Amino acid sequence: MLISEVIRKKRDGQTLTHDDIAAMVAGIADGGASDAQVAAFAMAAWLKGLSPDETAALTLAMRDSGDVFQWSDLPGPVVDKHSTGGVGDNVSLMLAPILAACGAYVPMISGRGLGHTGGTLDKMDAIPGYVSQPDNALFDKVVREVGCAIIGQTGDLAPADKRLYAIRDVTATVESIPLITASILSKKLAAGLGSLVMDVKFGSGAFMSKFEDARELAASLQRVATLAGLPCHALLTDMNEPLADAAGNAVETLNAIEFLTGARRTSRLEEVVIALCAQMLVASGIEAHAQTARSRVTKVLVSGHAAEVFGKMVAALGGPADVVEHPERYLAQAPVITELHANDAGYVSAIDARVVGLAVVELGGGRRRASDQIDPAVGLTRLAPLGAKLEKGDPIAVIHAANTSDADTAKSQLEDAYRIGASPKIGPVVAEVLV
């Protein structure tokens, strides 16, 4: 089948058959489709849309364009979650070991940060020696022996998606909900999951600022996952402020270790972590009800079992064996650490979380382009949450910078991001659960 005919059909608003989509994906994967043709297909799909059946066919074809992991001989369910991205979202670092401690297996394929949102893989790379892109054999071994492994997408995992995404990124077609859906789910299905929970974010720090748009994406993901044979729950969570009170790579990794050990936990982050873990235990069949699932999650946190699993995962993937006990020995620290103080008394009435994320990028902790190098040490900590009562001179944030000039720039950006005024009305961090 000619690639040009597939593009023509979608350009004209026709429904593509499974064979049409299979031919297009094969061309994307093996180079039979030129960059211009892949871009034309992406634009046609963005303009004319894809039905749920078309999106499911695209998802499955991209899954099958490379390696597909098999875990059928494991004694427990294989689960994972995916977040649409936000600021201070280090949930994956806690979630994977918590679920492994509860008896699930978590082969977590994660991404790097781009734009104002951080990436799970960059946080794990802040740990010296950690191999975030192992070969398939080591990935398989760690998942089986430890119960979880957080790694990055390899070239052999859904390679058609990797090429299609790269072209979408430069052709203004990233925002297509069907293409987003197929991109996310193809990688999750290639990881061999038995169930999936989505964390779809909305608000100033999310890619989709409007709740309605985020809900549309969540519904699409759930619908297409079901058509592809993957049970999927979805949580809609608020990103109108950073999730953790830290943003940056080493500082968010330290924040995650402190969460797992119980040294420090903030309420919003704890609520999202426990809610996601509970839904995953229910979706996988480990627990029948959310309330008993939440109790199980709390138990493995309090006992220290989840922290122990995190340490074993890090060591199994090349990192230091005592990073949980002594994170300060291994996580990079910025040479300049300074505070931003409130100019007036009042409450934190609004936070532009996107600007907070961009401040981390300007410090060197994020990327403008996928090829950019990042500084793992820089970032922000002790970020004041919405509703915090401040006196004049109280700290709003601690800035970790490579030099004083960068620190001053970050202070200016954070002053723009934070509003001090009357106490705001704060909604729930988990706005809705789709099951």
The catalytic position among 55, 83, 186, 195 is 83
In angstroms, rounded to a whole number, what is the distance separating the alpha carbons of residues 78 and 194? 5
Asked about 120 being catalytic, the answer comes back as yes
Asked about 338 being catalytic, the answer comes back as no
Asked about 80 being catalytic, the answer comes back as yes
Asked about 81 being catalytic, the answer comes back as yes
In angstroms, rounded to a whole number, what is the distance separating the alpha carbons of residues 182 and 192? 15
In angstroms, rounded to a whole number, what is the distance separating the alpha carbons of residues 144 and 87? 31
- Residues in contact with 141: Cβ distance below 8 Å, sequence separation at least 6, in sequence order: 316
Cα 200–387–123 angle (5° rounding)?
45
Secondary-structure percent of the chain, ordered helix, strand, coil, rounded to 5: 45, 15, 35
Asked about 298 being catalytic, the answer comes back as no
Asked about 400 being catalytic, the answer comes back as no
Asked about 294 being catalytic, the answer comes back as no
User: What is the Rg, in whole angstroms, of the alpha carbon atoms belonging to the chain?
Assistant: 21
The catalytic position among 63, 82, 294, 354 is 82
In angstroms, rounded to a whole number, what is the distance separating the alpha carbons of residues 246 and 384? 10
CB of 100 closer than 8 Å to CB of 147? yes
Asked about 188 being catalytic, the answer comes back as yes
The catalytic position among 163, 168, 312, 367 is 168
The catalytic position among 55, 65, 120, 220 is 120
DSSP code, position 424: P
Nearest Cα neighbor of 140 from 212, 69, 80 is 69
Distance of CA 154 to the CA centre of its chain: 17
The catalytic position among 20, 64, 80, 352 is 80
* Amino acid identity at 205: G
The catalytic position among 183, 237, 261, 381 is 183
Burial letters for 76-110: b for 16+ Cβ neighbours within 10 Å, e otherwise?
Answer: bbbbbbbbbbbbbbbbbbbbbbbbbbbbbbbbbbb
The catalytic position among 10, 63, 81, 112 is 81
DSSP code, position 334: -
Can you read off the two tokens belonging to residue 96? 């994977």
Number of alpha carbons in the 13 Å side-chain half-sphere of residue 105 = 23
Write out the DSSP string of 335-401: SEEEEEE-SS-EEEEEE-HHHHHHHHIIIIIS-SSTT----TT-EEESPPPTT-EE-TT-EEEEEEE
CB of 245 closer than 8 Å to CB of 266? yes
The catalytic position among 63, 112, 188, 268 is 188
Q: Please tell me the total number of residues recorded for the chain in this structure.
A: 435
Query: 400: buried, middle or exposed (CB in 10 Å: 19+, 13-18, 0-12)?
Result: buried
Asked about 9 being catalytic, the answer comes back as no
Q: Name the residues annotated as catalytic.
A: 80-83, 120, 168, 183, 187-188
